[in-house]
């Protein structure tokens, strides 16, 4: 499983010109799921992400986490994180999980975040989406897990 995490001051996602998710301060998270991902991958990535100290304290040092700041998450399913571009010019997406499995794990990812008392807004799985954000910092971090371990 791969996550691209962007600290944001504000963000929203639209599907067919309608806003489906919107947050103020927090994280925009692009979520990529591959064939071998399991609930263990979700668990380890969620705990790492929500506890990363990537928000500034009163001295403007990165000492606070999403949990500390009570920030929100805008979660966006992003199968293109598993693009293979080694050959040719057209990306190959065979490493992305099939839609049924990906959607199941994506929904579980969002539910587990909510169980951690994180406010979560989402796009729409499988839809063409327009994602807008004001990247705060900018701060962008990638996280990846294989077999329930951060790599």
Q: How many helices (H) does the chain have, and how many strands (E)? A: 3, 9
Whether 51 contacts 120, CB under 8 Å: no
Whole-angstrom distance, CA of residue 138 vs CA of residue 23: 17
Which residue of the set 80, 93, 140, 142 is catalytic?
Answer: 80
Residue 113: CB atoms within 10 A of its CB come to 21
Whether 103 contacts 31, CB under 8 Å: no
Catalytic-residue membership of 109: no
Whole-angstrom distance, CA of residue 55 vs CA of residue 137: 9
Which residue of the set 6, 34, 79, 109 is catalytic?
Answer: 79
Catalytic-residue membership of 38: no
Catalytic-residue membership of 20: no
Q: Going by DSSP bridges, is the β-strand pair 26-32/2-15 parallel, antiparallel, or unpaired?
A: antiparallel
Which residue of the set 6, 34, 55, 78 is catalytic?
Answer: 78
Whether omega before 138 lies within 30 degrees of 0, making that bond cis, reads yes
Whether 52 contacts 142, CB under 8 Å: no
**Known catalytic residues?**
78-80
């Amino acid at each position: 499983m791969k996550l691209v995490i962007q600290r944001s001051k504000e963000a929203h996602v639209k599907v067919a010109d309608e806003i489906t998710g919107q947050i103020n301060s927090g994280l925009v998270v692009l979520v990529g799921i591959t064939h071998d991902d399991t609930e263990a991958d979700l668990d380890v990535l969620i705990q790492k992400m929500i506890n990363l100290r990537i928000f500034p304290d009163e001295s403007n040092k990165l000492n606070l986490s999403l949990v500390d700041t009570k920030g929100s998450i805008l979660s966006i399913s992003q199968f293109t994180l598993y693009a293979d571009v080694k050959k040719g010019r057209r990306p190959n997406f065979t490493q992305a999980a099939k839609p049924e499995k990906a959607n199941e794990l994506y929904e579980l990812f969002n539910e587990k975040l909510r169980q951690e008392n994180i406010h979560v807004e989402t796009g729409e799985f499988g839809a063409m989406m327009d994602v807008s954000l004001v990247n705060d910092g900018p701060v962008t971090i990638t996280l990846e897990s294989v077999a329930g371990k951060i790599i």
